[in-house]
């Protein structure tokens, strides 16, 4: 079960990355954060950070790798949303 | 670390649920699947199923519970998309 169990983690991580990364990359490229919810990204970032730390606790390299990739993109988008809000509130 | 480690899993699972469930519940309620991508939901479902089985492998009740909730909603939406495609192809 060991190899298959570990493989499941990679399949899960790659599927999650394939689903969420294209939109994230596009948002980072176009810098268009109109219509994105600040609260959603705050909660999403807390979730991703928790999955990474939980992955450390479970010694799961798959959870650490794939959630870290998501966390980096989500953090960039969160930062862009905050900068955009600041610009519009001035 | 045990209690804090387990707690991290619950925080992560709840954050993920809070971010994705409202949209899922709304889609299931309104039955409006226009603009939803079939391929995206196929990949998302494979990902969720893999996370659940990987959670079984890691003995993580948090991964099993929260990914199962996501999987149920994503499966219903996937079924609705397929039914909608069938209707429009007749």
| pLDDT tens for each residue of B6-26 | 999 999 999 999 998 998 999
- The arithmetic mean of pLDDT across residues B69-77, rounded, is 94
Q: What is the pLDDT of residue A39?
A: 95
pTM, full prediction: 0.90
B8 and A44 within 8 Å at the Cβ level: the answer is: no
- Give which of A10, A4, A1 is closest to A60, Cα–Cα: A10
pLDDT band at A90 (very low <50, low <70, confident <90, very high): confident
Q: How far apart (Å, rounded) are the C-alpha atoms in residues B49 and B22?
A: 20
- B77: closest CA of chain A, how far (Å): 15
- Tell me whether B12 touches chain A (CB under 8 Å): yes
Q: Could you give the angle at the alpha carbon of A6 between the alpha carbons of A4 and A10, nearest 5°? A: 105
Residue B1 has pLDDT above 70, yes or no: no
User: What domains can you pick out in chain B, each with its CATH number?
Assistant: 2-89 (1.20.1280.290)
- Tell me whether B3 touches chain A (CB under 8 Å): no
């Amino acid at each position: 079960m060991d190899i298959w169990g570990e493989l499941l983690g990679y399949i899960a991580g790659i599927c999650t990355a394939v689903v969420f990364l294209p939109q994230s990359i596009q948002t980072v490229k176009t810098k268009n954060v109109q219509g994105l919810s600040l609260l959603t990204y705050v909660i999403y970032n807390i979730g991703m950070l928790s999955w990474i730390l939980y992955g450390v606790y479970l010694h799961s390299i798959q959870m650490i790798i794939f959630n870290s990739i998501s966390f980096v993109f989500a953090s960039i988008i969160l930062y862009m949303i905050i900068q955009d809000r600041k610009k519009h509130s001035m």
